[in-house]
């Protein structure tokens, strides 16, 4: 092999390794995000299924609102999400999509600084509806 082809070969090897490394790291990040979403969905589903929804749904809605408060606030800002759907189910809402839109429309009333955010979210929702 002559010496003039070594820099080209060396650059080719470096570029190939870089492209391969970026591809692998991008795939790893995508899988990580998918796992987070999957774990969140599984957790919400397990919560609802494990609670045996019955006549005491409001108490369960209060428990759910307490344990999932961060996710519910985030989803209320967008007006949709699996946690909002679950809360809608526990509160006996007929249309979870409309309930999510209602939460988005009333986000400031539900979460503003003037609101007693120590009061349970389920209680605040029922008082407003």
CB 90 within 8 A of CB 57: yes
Phi, psi of 56 (to 5 degrees): -100, 35
Q: How far apart are CA 54 and CA 122, in angstroms?
A: 17
CB 96 within 8 A of CB 72: no
Read off the pLDDT of residues 64-81 as tens digits, 9 standing for 90 and up: 999 999 999 999 999 999
Enter the tokens of residue 77: 């800002």
Read off the pLDDT of residues 1-59 as tens digits, 9 standing for 90 and up: 555 556 665 565 545 554 455 454 444 454 454 445 444 555 555 555 554 445 588 99
């Amino acid at each position: 092999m002559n010496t003039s082809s070594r820099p080209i070969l060396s650059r080719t090897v470096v570029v190939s390794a870089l492209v391969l490394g970026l591809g692998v790291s991008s795939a790893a990040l995508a899988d990580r995000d998918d796992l987070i979403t999957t774990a969140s969905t599984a957790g919400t589903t397990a919560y609802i299924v494990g609670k045996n929804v019955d006549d005491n749904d409001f108490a369960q809605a209060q428990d759910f609102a307490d344990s999932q408060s961060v996710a519910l606030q985030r989803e209320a800002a967008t007006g949709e999400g699996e946690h909002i759907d679950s809360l809608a189910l526990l509160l006996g809402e007929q249309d979870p999509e409309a309930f999510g839109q209602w939460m988005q429309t009333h986000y400031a009333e539900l979460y503003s600084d003037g609101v007693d955010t120590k009061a349970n979210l389920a209680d605040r929702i029922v008082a407003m509806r």
